[in-house]
Chains A and B, each alone.
Chain A
Amino acid sequence: MNRLALRLTVLAASLAVIGCGDKPADTKKTAEVKKGAPPPPSVEIKIGHVGPLTGGIAHLGKDNENGARMAIDEANAAKIKIDGKDAKFVFVPEDDQADPKVGTTVAQKLVDAKVAGVVGHLNSGTSIPASDIYNKAGIPVISGSATNPKLTEQGFKVQFRVVARDDQQGPAVANYLADIAKPKLVAVIDDATAYGEGLANEVEKSLKGANIQVLPREKGTDKTTDWKAVLTKLKGRNPDAVFYGGMDATGGPMLKQARELGIKAVFSFGDGACTDEMPKLAGAAADGLLCSQAGLPPQAADKKFLEAYKKAFKVDPIIYAPFTYDAANLLIEAMKKANSADPAKYLPELAKIDFKGATGQIAFDGKGDRKGAEITIFTMKAGKLEPTAIVKGGKSTPYAEFIGGGAAPAKDAAKK
């Protein structure tokens, strides 16, 4: 009891101190303004970020947020002037819980807060419904990780993305799988989300195009942990390979259970389950997994970015942080070019931008998709994701050749 009393006194005392500390500062500020000496004109520019900060893929959401946050912090340190005024960028991070319903609520919240631009959302399932809200408000939004084609197929002028689409990623992973595993029969599973189902559809289409037989689709949900029933059914059909469109939180248990059941098929996942969490979630069963990411691997991003990220957050980027970093920088760059933070004024600049980011040269096509976006194929070896190939424009290059061959992504894109 004594201790509680002590704490309360300390708390009260500190509150009092804070209270006292604040007031003089405030009056000073107002005094300064009143003195009439022209204060350096400044303008506050709000930039929103949306990703899931709670739920099964909160780690990915935080990764995305860190990338965008770093871009904002750097822009503030660089003391950018827009329209003759000191630009002060304010970062507004929001949590959409990877839930489409929450996604639209949060989008409306950002619109109401009058943000100048938005980085996000992380998931396709939340990005697509939210894009309509941003479009009506005329606020530019750049996703650093949503890969469902539909996102940029809605004809919204404000919607951009800096990663590849699933109709590029799906064929890339499907063709690689067909090349490496030479399967005759493939099972395709998805988690019944816009992302998972969309990607699984693309993979199935490509596999069928390559004359590979595909089993009827099996489904789980984005919260499924018990895959045994589905996997047992598959075991009876004996596929040579399995593709799963879903996230790592569900893919990990699936892989582990498949090996427990003695399924020997090659497993391949899309970008949502192509993370370093996989070996933790699936243990030794993760080895041999093929998976793809809709961009260059984080370790191939700009060195300066990687060092700064590690310094700022004490961890390495998981997957899409370099892309959200670029997305935030694109917004800022377009504002600089237009000399305005007014969405209507800087949007045309954003649409025709040509910018060298941490993930290479970035320019958008008419739909808002990134031109010449890369897809990376990884293989899990001894608990580590190792990039094995880069697919660009439907052409696959071994990773070592891509990095060593001097074909730096920046130069390549510039040639186009």
Chain B
Amino acid sequence: MDIFLQQMVNGLTLGAVYAVVALGYTMVYGIIQLINFAHGEVVMIGAMVAFTVINLLAAGGLPPLAVVLVGTACAIPVCMLVSYTVERLAYRPLRRAPRLAPLITAIGASIILQHLAMLVWSRNVLAFPQIIPLKTFSFLGATVTGVQLAILGICAAIMCGLAGLVYRTRLGRSMRATAQNPQVAGLMGVDINRVIAATFVIGAGLAAVAGVMVGTYYGVAQYTMGSILGLKAFAAAVLGGIGNVPGAMVGGLLLGVVEALGAGYIGDITDLCRYGPLARAVGERCADGGHFVLFGSNYQDVFAFVVLILVLVFRPSGLLGERVGDRA
């Protein structure tokens, strides 16, 4: 049971990161129905900038928490600037173009950002300086680290903050209006371009936070880290219902848990030696405590996409999805 709980904790932490990244996808999609494939790279740039700053400050004798906060504080504006630039150069000129055109510029922007990062930060795996002392807490037999708690806490705070922003502020109202009908919102005096840019910038700020989370959690960063993370977060956004803010959160957490439990148990479940008739079919490989495992934990990355496909087949609008009718 404590192992199951531990897998849940791992999954929730991973899911919290997916959720924060997924928010960026879903907000942009909600407003202009664009899948911003460059979003994963923005996360990577956030991690890289934070890496540089933390590396510079690590020797300075500041308290570790302050160093990480400064790193995040530097990463957020850089990511916002990158995302704003991408929106301005790659998406805005194509606002009235067919849906496919901005999708392709998004992929292009993602490739460009990835390779720029490669030029700036080299191709190597960068090791985050291990400045945060390892603090672990025991919770019903499962081990929870301080970093994990921080990630979960920040994730919850972001969720509340974002809900407040969307439903309680003037900008949020403009965003919802633009999402419903950009033309009419424009006629009512909403500066659509400003609202869209703001959406990108907020998403990028969240991406920066996610980048710092991933970097400090795993302790490594590389210029390629954004692509798979971005794809999984996108899967999470679709799972929750793309365009839906709480959906992204639910989708992210759910995906993280599915991945952790899947990777943790698939080896046992597909061990043919556990099933009498199959074990006999496999023969001697099961003799004295042997195992014949069909799928191992290296299939971890596959779960996100299996879930994505299942959702698209059985519930195209996602778990909390809505408004699919007028979008399809």
Binding site for B on A (CB under 8 A): 53-56, 58-59, 192, 213, 216-221, 223-226, 228-230, 232-233, 235-236, 249, 252-253, 256-257, 259-262, 277, 280-284
Q: In the complex the two chains form, is B130's CB within 8 Å of A283's CB?
A: yes
Nearest-neighbour CB distance to chain A for B13, whole angstroms, equals 8
Binding site for A on B (CB under 8 A): 3, 6-7, 10-11, 14, 122-125, 127, 130, 134, 136, 143, 145, 218-220, 222, 224-225, 228, 259-265, 267-268, 271, 289, 291, 293, 296-298, 300-301
Q: Which of B218, B224, B271 contacts A226 (CB 8 A)?
A: B218
Q: In the complex the two chains form, is B298's CB within 8 Å of A229's CB?
A: no
Residues in A with CB closer than 8 Å to B259 are 229
Q: In the complex the two chains form, is A229's CB within 8 Å of B134's CB?
A: no
Cα separation A229 to B123 with both chains bound (whole Å):
27
Nearest-neighbour CB distance to chain A for B212, whole angstroms, equals 15
What are the nearest 3 A-B pairs in CB distance?
A283-B130, A229-B263, A216-B291
Q: Which of A229, A230, A281 contacts B125 (CB 8 A)?
A: A281
Q: In the complex the two chains form, is B267's CB within 8 Å of A216's CB?
A: yes
Q: In the complex the two chains form, is A232's CB within 8 Å of B6's CB?
A: yes
Nearest-neighbour CB distance to chain B for A282, whole angstroms, equals 8
Known: A53-B123, A252-B219. 8 other contacts (CB 8 A): A56-B124, A220-B297, A223-B224, A226-B14, A229-B11, A229-B259, A229-B262, A280-B127
Residues in A with CB closer than 8 Å to B297 are 218-220, 229-230, 233
Q: In the complex the two chains form, is A228's CB within 8 Å of B125's CB?
A: no
Q: In the complex the two chains form, is A253's CB within 8 Å of B218's CB?
A: yes
Q: In the complex the two chains form, is B271's CB within 8 Å of A216's CB?
A: yes
Q: In the complex the two chains form, is B220's CB within 8 Å of A225's CB?
A: yes
Q: In the complex the two chains form, is A219's CB within 8 Å of B123's CB?
A: no
Q: Which of B7, B219, B260 contacts A283 (CB 8 A)?
A: B219
Residue of A nearest to B5 (CB): A232
Q: In the complex the two chains form, is B136's CB within 8 Å of A256's CB?
A: no
Q: In the complex the two chains form, is A218's CB within 8 Å of B127's CB?
A: no
Given contacts A217-B296, A249-B125, contact A262 B264 (CB under 8 A): no
Q: In the complex the two chains form, is A225's CB within 8 Å of B218's CB?
A: yes
Q: In the complex the two chains form, is B263's CB within 8 Å of A259's CB?
A: no
Q: In the complex the two chains form, is A232's CB within 8 Å of B124's CB?
A: no
Cα separation A56 to B219 with both chains bound (whole Å):
14
Q: In the complex the two chains form, is B298's CB within 8 Å of A220's CB?
A: yes
Nearest-neighbour CB distance to chain B for A101, whole angstroms, equals 17
Cα separation A232 to B265 with both chains bound (whole Å):
10
Cα separation A192 to B293 with both chains bound (whole Å):
14
Nearest-neighbour CB distance to chain B for A215, whole angstroms, equals 8
Q: In the complex the two chains form, is B134's CB within 8 Å of A259's CB?
A: yes
Cα separation A59 to B125 with both chains bound (whole Å):
9
Cα separation A235 to B125 with both chains bound (whole Å):
27
Residues in B with CB closer than 8 Å to A216 are 267, 271, 291, 293
Cα separation A59 to B123 with both chains bound (whole Å):
9
Nearest-neighbour CB distance to chain A for B145, whole angstroms, equals 5
Q: In the complex the two chains form, is A260's CB within 8 Å of B300's CB?
A: no
Q: In the complex the two chains form, is B219's CB within 8 Å of A253's CB?
A: yes
Nearest-neighbour CB distance to chain B for A283, whole angstroms, equals 3
Q: In the complex the two chains form, is A277's CB within 8 Å of B260's CB?
A: no
Cα separation A54 to B118 with both chains bound (whole Å):
10
Residues in A with CB closer than 8 Å to B222 are 56
Cα separation A256 to B297 with both chains bound (whole Å):
19
Cα separation A226 to B301 with both chains bound (whole Å):
10
Nearest-neighbour CB distance to chain A for B43, whole angstroms, equals 14
Cα separation A219 to B298 with both chains bound (whole Å):
5
Q: In the complex the two chains form, is A233's CB within 8 Å of B298's CB?
A: no
Residues in B with CB closer than 8 Å to A221 are 298, 301
**Can you identify 11 A-B contacts, CB atoms within 8 angstroms?**
A58-B123, A58-B124, A217-B291, A218-B297, A219-B297, A229-B7, A229-B262, A229-B263, A229-B297, A257-B218, A261-B6
Residue of B nearest to A237 (CB): B3
Residue of A nearest to B266 (CB): A229
Residues in B with CB closer than 8 Å to A253 are 218-220
Nearest-neighbour CB distance to chain A for B241, whole angstroms, equals 26
Cα separation A253 to B128 with both chains bound (whole Å):
11
Residues in B with CB closer than 8 Å to A223 are 224, 228
Cα separation A252 to B220 with both chains bound (whole Å):
9
Q: Which of B10, B130, B289 contacts A228 (CB 8 A)?
A: B10
Residues in A with CB closer than 8 Å to B10 are 228-229, 232
